[in-house]
Structures are given as structure tokens and as C-alpha cells.
Amino acid sequence: MDDSFAHMRPYLDGEVPDAIQCLLGALDWESQLGPFVGKDRASELTQGLTGLTSVDAFQDSMSRVFIDMLLERTAEEVTMDFPEDFEGHGALFISNHRDIVLDPSLVNMALLSRGESTCQIGIGSNLLQTEWVEKLVRLNKSFIVQRGGTPREQLMRSAEVADYVRHVVNELDASVWLAQREGRAKDGNDKTSPALIRMLLNGEKGEAWNRLKVQPVSLSYEWDPCDGMKVRELLIRERNNGEYEKSTGEDERSMKQGLFGWKGRIHVAFCNPVKWEEAPEGVRPTVHLAARLDQALHLAMKAWPSQHWAAQEWCKMNQGPGENWPTDWSPEPVDNEVAEQCEKRIAVIVSSLTDIEVTADEVRQKWCEITMNPLINSVLAQDEVSVSA
């Protein structure tokens, strides 16, 4: 691999032993993992680290085993859909972003199920606050996307990431995963950032875009294990004119909660590649491509009963549907068990928010918003397709 990317790329096999030694010396992995996967399995995983000498061995012996164990305990089932002419290598996968760690892990699980290699994962430098975390993610085929800096530095880094993605996809015939925008969609409103498209185009268009084989991947979680943290952040932002300051270790806590919290059913849907087409007059190409990615992601989203309950409850609280709701559409009725589950989650969040002054109704409305938004976007996308057909 080109040495010019050495500061950001995943580790090469020759760099694995030193990284493993750093991990083993950083934490007592058995005690850290034991409460979540069991003492015996934690011991097996920790002992398995010793002697690993390649990235593939690390993923086979550690990452894949750990994710399988994790989903056994935190998910009811994981289902997958692929297009008829699916190509799992030499592609750029762009997904909606719900969970920091699990989103790309699910994409990799799906690729492995088709006999494909795992993809390289773009991860923001803001999440790598300690040395061992950086080593862990680079062992797991992650490359680092630098955040922050001056506008000029940001521009240069965007060009570097675009060059790296093209290097991996076009020259190595390997695949890459990127989130559709920087940061998770805390409000459940999945929208691709035109800035991401601009970075990937890097001044080019047409055939250069098509060579990336950009494939949207729609990730649908029945329950969001980080819903309480997201409700809290959104309510604070509303009170502070959009401002929110993360506390020390908040990203780490979010990653932990996302991994080990209950997720119910999960659906992973790969879409056909989004090929280049000229934008309508007056519409920027980046905005046009972002909208096409969004439509594919929203159409492939799986609806859950909890989302229909949230939409019904939101209507009750607001005396009718919202301004941007689908016309002539109503959420489906749900059974009492689903309603009880939703009420229980809201009650837990209300009881946990002791550090800010909020009412139970404010929490209920915010939870309903973030839970129903993927469903609303999916129905709107279906309406758009029906109108254009």
C-alpha cells in the first residue's frame, strides 16, 4: 500500500504484533468483557489475541467472534437483503448512521455471508482519544478521517480521503464503508451530507463517480440502545440554541451502550449502485446525488411496530400529523405488547434524566420523533416513487 497513506490506513500484517501487545497492556480484557459475553468467552477472546500476526486473523478470531457473541445477547435476529446483481468488492458502501461501532460491523457481517472480504471502515479521529482505541480500530481495517482544523486543512484532508477511497476501490479492488454524514443521525432523520458527496467527487464527476460503485446500505434497528442519550442531547440542544458540549468519555459510553444494549430485530438492506446522472437545472450535483442516495436508503428501510406506535402517539400529543408528513397516510395500529414496551422505554429515559430539567411529556415527544422519523421518511420516499412512475 502507498506509504503516503501510512498515517491513516489500516495496519499491514507486519504491524499487527506490536498493536496486539499495546492492546494487551492497555486493559484487563477479561474483566472488561466478562460482564457482557461471559467469563469463559472473555477468557477465550483474550487468550486468542496472543500470537495473531495478520489483520485477517484478527478479524476472524476476534472481531467476527465478538460481534457474533454480542448479537446473540443483544439482538433477536439479523436479516439481510441484496440486489440481484450484488457486487461486494471494489465498491463504496454508504449507510445511514445509527451506531458508531455496529453499523460497519453489520455491513461486514453481510459481506462475509456472501463470501466477500470485509470492507475498510472510515472513522473520525474525534473518536480515537486513546492510543489503544486507535490501534484496535486500525487492526479492524479502519482508516482515520481527520476532524477539525482550519478550513484549508479541512479541504486538504477531504482531498486526501477522496484519494484514499479511490485508491482502495479502484486500485486494490477492495471495498470501503462510510457513514452518510459526519456523526450519527440523533433525531432518526437520515440525510446524506452533500459535503460527503463533494469530498468523494473531489472536482470530478461522471465516470469517476461510477467507478466507485457507490452502493447505499439501509440499516434498520427495531430498538435504539442509545435512545436515552440521544433524547437528552436533543433536548439540551433545544434549550441552548443548537449548542451541545460533550462530556469527557461520552463517545466511549455511547459506543459501549450501542454495543451492549438491546436492539431487537435488525435489518440490513443493500441497494443497487447509484450511478451518475446530470442534475436538474438549478440543482447542484452534490445535492442531487445526496437526494438519490437518501431515496434509496429510505425505500429500503424496514418499518417496525414501535415506529408506528411512536407516530400515533406523536399525533395524539400534537393534535394531528406534522407539516411534512405523507398525505393521506396513517400509522398502523399496534398490539398492547408493543405499546407497553414503548411506554417502558420512555419511563426509563424519564427516570434517567436527573441532570437536566425536563418534563415527561417533553421526553415522550422527543422519543417519538426520533423513533418515527425513519418510518416517515420511508413513506415519503414511496410517495415520491409513485408520483414519478
Residue 328 CA to residue 311 CA, distance in Å, equals 14
- pLDDT single digits (tens) 136-152: 999 999 999 988 889 89
Q: Is 349 exposed, middle or buried (0-12, 13-18, 19+ CB in 10 A)?
A: buried
Grouping H, G, I as helix, E, B as strand and the rest as coil, residue 221 is strand
Q: How many CB atoms lie within 10 A of CB 282?
A: 5
Residue 97 CA to residue 295 CA, distance in Å, equals 15
Q: Detail the DSSP E strand segments found in the chain.
A: 75-81, 92-95, 120-124, 142-145, 176-179, 214-221, 264-270
- pLDDT single digits (tens) 228-269: 999 999 999 999 999 999 888 888 889 889 999 999 999 999
Q: For residue 19, give every residue at least 6 positions away whose Cβ sits within 8 Å of its Cβ, in sequence order, or none.
A: 11, 135, 138, 139
The yes-or-no verdict on residue 13 having pLDDT over 90 is: yes
- pLDDT single digits (tens) 20-60: 999 999 889 888 888 877 888 888 888 888 889 999 999 99
115 within 8 A of 82, measured Cβ to Cβ: no
Residue 91 phi/psi, 5-degree rounding, is -135, 160
Among candidate residues 220, 305, 216, 213, the one with its CA nearest the CA of residue 268: 220
Q: How many CB atoms lie within 10 A of CB 222?
A: 20
Q: Which residue is associated with the grid cell 440542544? A: 237
The yes-or-no verdict on residue 117 having pLDDT over 70 is: yes
Question: What is the predicted pLDDT for the residue at 187?
Answer: 94
Q: For residue 46, give every residue at least 6 positions away whose Cβ sits within 8 Å of its Cβ, in sequence order, or none.
A: 24, 29, 30, 33
Grouping H, G, I as helix, E, B as strand and the rest as coil, residue 24 is helix
Look up residue 1 and give its three cell numbers.
500500500
The yes-or-no verdict on residue 323 having pLDDT over 70 is: yes
pLDDT range class, residue 1, cuts 50, 70, 90: very low
- pLDDT single digits (tens) 70-116: 999 999 999 999 999 998 999 999 999 998 889 999 999 999 999 99
Direct distance between the N- and C-terminal alpha carbons of the chain, in angstroms, rounded to an integer = 46
The yes-or-no verdict on residue 389 having pLDDT over 70 is: no
- Give the CA angle between residues 19, 23, 26 to the nearest 5°: 135
Residue 109 CA to residue 63 CA, distance in Å, equals 10
Task: Calculate mean pLDDT across residues 295-318.
Answer: 97
